[in-house]
Chain A
Amino acid sequence: MKIKSLTAAVLASLALAMGFSSCSDDEEEASVTNNYSIYQKAVDNQVILGKKNNKAILLVAFGSTWQNAFKAFDNTVEAYKKQFPDCDVYMSFSSAICINRAAAGEHANDSGDDKAERRNYYAPNFWLHAFGSAKYEEITVQSLQVIPGEEYSRVINYIKDFANNSLGDLDDKYLSKVSLKLGTPLLNNTDDVDNVAKIINKLYSSEAKKAAVAFMGHGNPDSYDTYKANIRYTQLEEALQKYSKNYFVGTVDMPDNYKQDVYARMKSAGLESGKVILYPLMSIAGDHAHNDMAGEGDEYWDESDEESEDNSWNEYFSHKGYTTKCNIKGLLEIEDIRKVWIEHTKNPVELEDYYHSMYPED
C-alpha cells in the first residue's frame, strides 16, 4: 500500500514538473504562421488606400536608425515627389532592425501631428507585393546604393521575386503586363563615375587647390564583392585626379583601399603634410561617417596598431602629421549628387524579361 502511494506520489510529482512543459513551444509558434500574410495585407491596404497615381517609385536604402538619416530620407522623398508629380513615391529599408526601430518608440502610439516620428520603411518585398495588389501600371525601383555591390544585388532579387509572383497570390495577367524599371546606383558605370567626379570637383575644387580632399566610401569586403563593384572607388579617384592630384578615394571595407593605402598614395603624390579634408562617400552620414571617419579622441586611436580598423581617419591622418577637417554630410543631402540618382530614375533600365510566373497554370 505504502509502495503504491509512494509510486503515485513520485509519478504525480514528475507529472507536475513535466506538465509545466506541456504548453508546448511549438503550439505558440503555430499561431504565428499567418503573420506573414497579415502583415502583407496591412501593407497592401495602406497602398491601395493611398494610391493616387498609376506609377510608383520605390526608393530602396539599407536603412538607418539615426535621426539625421531619417531626415535625409524624408528630404529625398520630397525631392522625388517634386520631380515626379505623376508618381507615388515610397521609401524602403532592407535592414529589418532599422525598419523595426523606425516604426516603434515614443511616438509610435501617438496620433495626429505627433505621429511624425513614426516611420514605416517597409521592406522592398512587402512594398512591391502591395504595388502588385494595387495594380500600379508602372513601377520603378530606385537603388539608393553608391556602388552596384552586394546590397544592389539584393534589390534586383526583390524585383525578380515580385515579377515571378513568388508567393503566388498576385494576378499573373497583371504581372505579365506591368512595366518594371530599375534605377541603378550612383556609380553604376564609368559614365556615372565621370559625371559624379565632375560634380564633386565643382563642389570642392577650391578646397582641392589648398589641401588633400579624401573621400571615405564603404566598399564590399573581399568575399562580398560579387560584381567587382569596388572598382568604382578606384575609378572615381582616377577621374577626380584628372581635375586635381589632391583628390583621394578610400574605403572602410575594400581590400587594399583602406586609410593606410590612401595615406601611401598621398605620400607618393608628395603630400606628406598639410591639410586633409575628409568627406564621407556614403548615401547618409551615420556610424561610419561619425566614428570611422570623424571620430576624435583616445577611443579612436590605438598607437600600437595604427592601421587598426578602430582607428578613425581623423586620428590617423592627424597622427601622420596632417591637419584635418571633417565634413559630415551624406551624399543624399547634397542636392547635385541627389540629382544623379534622380536622373537614374528618369532613365531606368527596362526590365522587360523579368516576368516568368512560378504559377502559370493559376
Chain B
Amino acid sequence: MKLKFKLATLAYIAGGFLCATFAQEKVETLEEIVVTGTGTEHLLKNAPVQTEIISRKTLDSYGGKSIEEILGGLTASFSFEEGDMGSQAQLNGLGNSYILILVDGKRLHGDVGGENDLSQIDPLNIDHIEIVKGAQSALYGSDAMAGVINIITKKHHDEGIYLENTTRYGCYNDIRQHNGVGLTYGKLNSFTNFQLQHNDGWRNTTQEYTEGKVVNDSRKKTSNERTNWQLAERLTYSFNKNFEVYADGSYHKKNIYRPQDGHYASCDVYTYDLMYKNMSASVGSKWKLNKNDLLSADVDWNKHAYFYNYTATTLTDGYDPLGRFTNYFPYFRGQKSLQSDQQRIIANVKGVFNLSKENKLSTGIEYRYDYLKAPMRTEGGTAGDWTGSFYLQDEFNPFAWLNLTGGLRLNENGNFGFRATPKINAMFSVKDFRFRMGWSQGFKTPTTKELYYRYLHVMGSSTYFNMGNTDLKPQTSNYYSVGAEYRGDKFTVSTTVYLNKLDNMITLVNVPVDEIPVDATSAYIGDGSGEVIARKYKNMEDAQTQGADLNITYKICKNLSVGGNYSYLDTKAHEYNASKKKLIEVTIDGMAHHKWNGYVNWNQALTSVYKLGVNLSTRGSSKRYYQNNGDGAPFQLWRLNTTHDFSKKGKLMSYRAEAGVDNLFNYIDKTMHPYHLGTNNPGRTFYIGFSIKFNQGKNIKPTKISNSKTFSDED
C-alpha cells in the first residue's frame, strides 16, 4: 500500500514538474454537448437533467479494451458481476435489466431479461458516453429504472474517403480489431464498421469446493475464451440541409468456449459451448422543419438468438421420433440447438418544437413489439408482448437562472394495461454553479422471459430450474435526486444524492422443488446427489437503493489534469419467503457500499509531429455483498496507459500507438470456485495497440447547437 501511495505521489509530482515546464500554451476548455437527459442538445453544464459524461479525450487517454473496462474504470457508479459466461452490469445497485443502453439514441437489443450483451458495442468506435441515472427521461421509456447509458459512436462527415484501422493486442491473446470505412459522395454518406474481439480466457484459481471437499485441480476458468465480431453498415442520404434519410444494419456473432478437459463431472465438465447471433436493421428520417424544430421517424428491427454448440454428446429436452416430449433428445459434437430467439420491432415518431423563447416541447409516440421463440423454454414455444407509448416533455426557462423540465409518459401494455409516469426536474443556475433536483416515476412490465420462460440453468456444481411466473405484477419506481455542481474552467465538482424506491421488484427467488412441473425436465429431483434448486420470478415486496455520487476534475494546466469519482451505495429489499412464511430482509446481490476511481493525465506535444500521453488511473471497491456463495473481496487496481500520436497538419495519414499495463501491482482475487470474486481481473497484463487513419477530404459539416456553441464531433 505504501509503495502504491509513493508511486501515486511520485506520478503527481512528476506531472506537476512537467506541467510547469511545458505549460506555456493558453488553456482552452472544450465544451461538451449532451443529449441523453432530454433528447435535446445542451452544453453539459446546462443540461437540465444531471448527466455524467465520458469524453472522447478521457476514452483515448484511458485506453479501455471493452465497455466493461471503460464504465468500470471511469465511473464509480458501475460495477460488473463478472462470471465465466460474461459480465452483468450494475448501476447504483440495480442490475442489467434496469439499465437502458442506447447506441446513438437507439435501444441496444439483448436478452429478454434486458441483459444486454455489451460486446455488441465496438469499444474503438466510441466518441463519448453519456450517463443519466434513474428513470428521469420521458423519451426513452420508463423502464430505465437504474438509468440510461447512451453510447455515441464516432461519426464521419468528411467528403471523400476515410479509412481507419486499429489493432490492439494484449496478454491472454487479447485481440481488439476495429476497421472503419467512410465514404461521402455527394449527398450519400456510407460508414462501414467492423470489429473483432477475442480473449483466450484465464484461470485465477484451480481450487473449487465440490463433492463435499476442496479440490485443487479444477479446470474451470475464471473467464472463458470468447470471440465475437460484428459488421455494421449505415447509409445516409441528405436531400438537402434539412432532410435526411438513413438505413442501417448489423450482424454480430459471439462464441463462448468452455474448457473441454474437465476433471470432475460434478463441477468442471461441460458438454456444450454458447453462441449468440444478433442482427439489426433500421430505416428512418430526420426533418428540420425550421431553424429550431425537428421531426424524426425511425423503425428498428432487432434479433437476438442464443444457441448451445455441443462439444460432446448431450441429452436434453426435445421430442422423440413420435413427437412426444422427452428428456433424452441427443445432440452430437458439432451440432447446435436454438435456446431462444428474441425479436423486437420499435417504431418511433418524435418532434421537437420551440414553442417560444422559453418553451421547448418534445413529443412523440412509440410502439414496441417483443417476440420470443424458445421451443424448449416456454410452454407453447413462443410468446409476445406489446407496449404503446405517448410522451411529452417541456423544457421551460422562465428566467435565465431557472430551468424546469417536466415530462409525462403514457404507457399501454398488452398484458398489463395503462400507466402514466410523470417526471419533473428543476435546475437553478448561479454563475458557474448548478443546483438540480428531480423526481421521476418508473414503470416496467414483466418481460416475456419473466412471464413465460422456464429452463434448467447449470452453474458449475449447482443446478437451477428457473421458472417464469404469469402472476407477476409490473414494477414501479420513484427516483428522487438532489445535486450541486460547480463547473469552472479548470475545476469541476458535482455531487448527487439519490433515493430510488422500487415496488414489486421482480427477482428470482428460491421456491419449493415441487413447484417444478413433473416431467418439465429430467433433473427435477435427486435421490442423493445433484439436487436441483427451484427458482421462480416473483415480485419482492419492496426494494430501495440510496446513495451519493461525487465527481471531481481539476485541470492543473493544459497538459495535466487529475480527477476522481466516488460512489456510496446502500440497498434494502424485502421479500416474502415461502418456506419461512415471513417477510425477510435480503441483500441486493453485488452491492458494495463504496466504489471509487481516480486518474492523473498528462499530454504533451514533444515535437511538431509527436504527442505523448500518459495516464495513471486506479479503481476500487469495498466488499460486495451476496445472498449465496460468499461476499466479494474488496480490491483496488492500478493502470498505466501511454498514447503516442504521430500526425502532421495537412497530411492525409495519422498514426497512433498505445501501450500500457493493466493491474500494475498484479492483484489477483484467488477466491475458490464457486464463491464470488470481488474482481475477476487476471492480474498484471500488458497491451499494445496501433491505429492508422487515412482521411482524404475536407470537413464539410460542422454542427451548430441551439446555444450557439460550435462543435465538431469528428477530430
Task: Give the B-binding residues of A (Cβ under 8 A).
Answer: 2, 5-6, 9-10, 13-14, 16-18, 20-21, 25, 28-29, 31-33, 35-39, 61-70, 94-106, 108, 123, 125-126, 145-146, 150-151, 166-168, 218, 220-224, 253, 280, 282-291, 294, 305, 308-309, 328, 330
CA distance in complex: A18, B345 (Å): 13
Q: A18-B281, A32-B331, A288-B529 are in contact. Are A37 and B248 (CB under 8 A)?
A: no
**Cross-interface CB contact of A218 among B269, B463, B528, cutoff 8 Å:** B528
**Chain A, residue nearest B270 (CB):** A104
**Chain B, residue nearest A98 (CB):** B530
**Chain B, residue nearest A26 (CB):** B338
Q: A125-B328, A305-B580 are in contact. Are A20 and B251 (CB under 8 A)?
A: yes
How near does chain B come to A96, taking the closest CB pair, in angstroms?
Answer: 4
Instruction: Give chain B residues whose Cβ lies under 8 Å from the Cβ of A69.
Output: 528-529
Q: Is B417 an interface residue (CB 8 A)?
A: no
Q: Is B513 an interface residue (CB 8 A)?
A: yes
How near does chain B come to A73, taking the closest CB pair, in angstroms?
Answer: 11
Could you name 26 residue pairs across A and B whose Cβ atoms are closer than 8 Å? A9-B235, A16-B249, A17-B233, A17-B279, A18-B249, A18-B279, A20-B249, A35-B335, A39-B330, A62-B525, A65-B461, A66-B529, A67-B266, A96-B522, A96-B523, A98-B530, A100-B313, A101-B271, A103-B313, A104-B270, A104-B271, A105-B261, A108-B312, A123-B328, A150-B525, A328-B212
Q: State the 4 A-B residue pairs at the shortest beta-carbon distance, nearest first.
A: A286-B529, A17-B249, A290-B212, A221-B514
CA distance in complex: A94, B519 (Å): 12
* Inter-subunit contact B233/A28 (CB<8 Å): no
* Inter-subunit contact A39/B313 (CB<8 Å): yes
* Inter-subunit contact B251/A308 (CB<8 Å): no
Q: Is B531 an interface residue (CB 8 A)?
A: yes
Q: A95-B530, A218-B528 are in contact. Are A106 and B263 (CB under 8 A)?
A: yes
Instruction: Give chain B residues whose Cβ lies under 8 Å from the Cβ of A14.
Output: 247, 249, 281, 283
* Inter-subunit contact B527/A106 (CB<8 Å): no
How near does chain A come to B702, taking the closest CB pair, in angstroms?
Answer: 25
Q: Is B322 an interface residue (CB 8 A)?
A: yes
How near does chain B come to A56, taking the closest CB pair, in angstroms?
Answer: 19
* Inter-subunit contact A284/B529 (CB<8 Å): yes
**Cross-interface CB contact of B530 among A25, A150, A287, cutoff 8 Å:** A287
Q: A102-B265, A104-B271 are in contact. Are A28 and B338 (CB under 8 A)?
A: yes
Q: Is B449 an interface residue (CB 8 A)?
A: no
Name the residue in B249, B265, B314 with the highest tally of chain A Cβ atoms < 10 Å from its Cβ: B265
CA distance in complex: A66, B266 (Å): 6
CA distance in complex: A28, B375 (Å): 13
**Chain B, residue nearest A119 (CB):** B265
CA distance in complex: A13, B321 (Å): 41
**Chain B, residue nearest A294 (CB):** B212
Q: A105-B262, A106-B261, A106-B262 are in contact. Are A166 and B526 (CB under 8 A)?
A: no
**Cross-interface CB contact of B322 among A10, A17, A20, A166, cutoff 8 Å:** A166
Instruction: Give chain A residues whose Cβ lies under 8 Å from the Cβ of B212.
Output: 289-291, 294, 328
* Inter-subunit contact A35/B331 (CB<8 Å): yes
Contacting residues of chain B (313-344) with chain A, CB-CB under 8 angstroms: 313-317, 320-322, 326-332, 335-338, 341
Q: Is B14 an interface residue (CB 8 A)?
A: no
Q: A9-B247, A97-B463, A167-B322 are in contact. Are A64 and B529 (CB under 8 A)?
A: yes
**Chain B, residue nearest A123 (CB):** B328
Per-residue contact bits, chain B 512-524, to A (CB 8 Å; 1 contact, 0 not): 1110001000110
What total of chain B residues lie within 8 Å of the partner, measured CB to CB? 74
* Inter-subunit contact A32/B530 (CB<8 Å): no
Instruction: Give chain A residues whose Cβ lies under 8 Å from the Cβ of B652.
Output: none
CA distance in complex: A137, B529 (Å): 34
Instruction: Give chain A residues whose Cβ lies under 8 Å from the Cβ of B314.
Output: 100
How near does chain A come to B267, taking the closest CB pair, in angstroms?
Answer: 8
Q: A6-B188, A126-B328 are in contact. Are A282 and B528 (CB under 8 A)?
A: yes
Q: Is B211 an interface residue (CB 8 A)?
A: yes
* Inter-subunit contact B527/A146 (CB<8 Å): yes
How near does chain B come to A121, taking the closest CB pair, in angstroms?
Answer: 11
* Inter-subunit contact B579/A308 (CB<8 Å): yes
Task: Give the A-binding residues of B (Cβ under 8 A).
Answer: 187-188, 211-212, 219, 233, 235, 237, 245, 247-251, 261-271, 279-281, 283, 303, 305, 307, 311-317, 320-322, 326-332, 335-338, 341, 375, 456, 458, 461, 463, 512-514, 518, 522-523, 525-531, 579-580
How near does chain B come to A273, taking the closest CB pair, in angstroms?
Answer: 27
How near does chain A come to B79, taking the closest CB pair, in angstroms?
Answer: 24
**Cross-interface CB contact of B211 among A166, A282, A290, A308, cutoff 8 Å:** A290
CA distance in complex: A168, B219 (Å): 44
Instruction: Give chain A residues whose Cβ lies under 8 Å from the Cβ of B303.
Output: 21
Name the residue in A17, A61, A150 with the highest tally of chain B Cβ atoms < 10 Å from its Cβ: A17
**Cross-interface CB contact of A25 among B237, B328, B341, B525, cutoff 8 Å:** B341
How near does chain A come to B330, taking the closest CB pair, in angstroms?
Answer: 4
* Inter-subunit contact A17/B281 (CB<8 Å): yes
How near does chain A come to B608, taking the closest CB pair, in angstroms?
Answer: 42
CA distance in complex: A218, B305 (Å): 39
CA distance in complex: A305, B586 (Å): 14
How near does chain B come to A124, taking the closest CB pair, in angstroms?
Answer: 9
How near does chain A come to B268, taking the closest CB pair, in angstroms?
Answer: 8
* Inter-subunit contact A103/B312 (CB<8 Å): yes
CA distance in complex: A69, B526 (Å): 13
**Cross-interface CB contact of A151 among B263, B514, B527, cutoff 8 Å:** B527
**Chain A, residue nearest B246 (CB):** A10
How near does chain B come to A250, taking the closest CB pair, in angstroms?
Answer: 15
* Inter-subunit contact B528/A289 (CB<8 Å): yes
* Inter-subunit contact A105/B265 (CB<8 Å): yes
* Inter-subunit contact B528/A17 (CB<8 Å): no
* Inter-subunit contact A96/B529 (CB<8 Å): no
* Inter-subunit contact B336/A10 (CB<8 Å): no
Instruction: Give chain B residues whose Cβ lies under 8 Å from the Cβ of A31.
Output: 335
**Cross-interface CB contact of A35 among B267, B279, B332, B518, cutoff 8 Å:** B332
* Inter-subunit contact B527/A145 (CB<8 Å): yes
How near does chain B come to A15, taking the closest CB pair, in angstroms?
Answer: 9
Instruction: Give chain B residues whose Cβ lies under 8 Å from the Cβ of A38.
Output: 330, 332
Instruction: Give chain B residues whose Cβ lies under 8 Å from the Cβ of A102.
Output: 265
* Inter-subunit contact A288/B526 (CB<8 Å): yes
CA distance in complex: A5, B316 (Å): 50
How near does chain B come to A98, taking the closest CB pair, in angstroms?
Answer: 6
How near does chain B come to A35, taking the closest CB pair, in angstroms?
Answer: 5
How near does chain B come to A146, taking the closest CB pair, in angstroms?
Answer: 7
**Chain B, residue nearest A17 (CB):** B249
CA distance in complex: A13, B513 (Å): 50
Instruction: Give chain A residues whose Cβ lies under 8 Å from the Cβ of B312.
Output: 100, 103-104, 108
**Cross-interface CB contact of B329 among A2, A25, A35, A62, cutoff 8 Å:** A35
**Chain B, residue nearest A280 (CB):** B528
Instruction: Give chain A residues whose Cβ lies under 8 Å from the Cβ of B332.
Output: 35, 38-39
Instruction: Give chain A residues whose Cβ lies under 8 Å from the Cβ of B326.
Output: 125
**Cross-interface CB contact of A253 among B317, B322, B341, B513, cutoff 8 Å:** B513
Instruction: Give chain B residues whose Cβ lies under 8 Å from the Cβ of A167.
Output: 320-322
* Inter-subunit contact B313/A67 (CB<8 Å): no
CA distance in complex: A36, B528 (Å): 29
Instruction: Give chain B residues whose Cβ lies under 8 Å from the Cβ of A280.
Output: 528
CA distance in complex: A18, B326 (Å): 34
Name the residue in A6, A67, A96, A151 with the highest tally of chain B Cβ atoms < 10 Å from its Cβ: A96
* Inter-subunit contact A283/B528 (CB<8 Å): yes
CA distance in complex: A224, B341 (Å): 33
Instruction: Give chain A residues whose Cβ lies under 8 Å from the Cβ of B337.
Output: 28-29, 32
CA distance in complex: A68, B187 (Å): 72
CA distance in complex: A142, B461 (Å): 28
Instruction: Give chain A residues whose Cβ lies under 8 Å from the Cβ of B250.
Output: 17
* Inter-subunit contact A101/B528 (CB<8 Å): no
CA distance in complex: A65, B210 (Å): 10
**Cross-interface CB contact of B305 among A25, A63, A97, A98, cutoff 8 Å:** A25
CA distance in complex: A106, B270 (Å): 10
CA distance in complex: A37, B330 (Å): 9
Instruction: Give chain B residues whose Cβ lies under 8 Å from the Cβ of A330.
Output: 528
**Cross-interface CB contact of B316 among A25, A96, A308, cutoff 8 Å:** A96
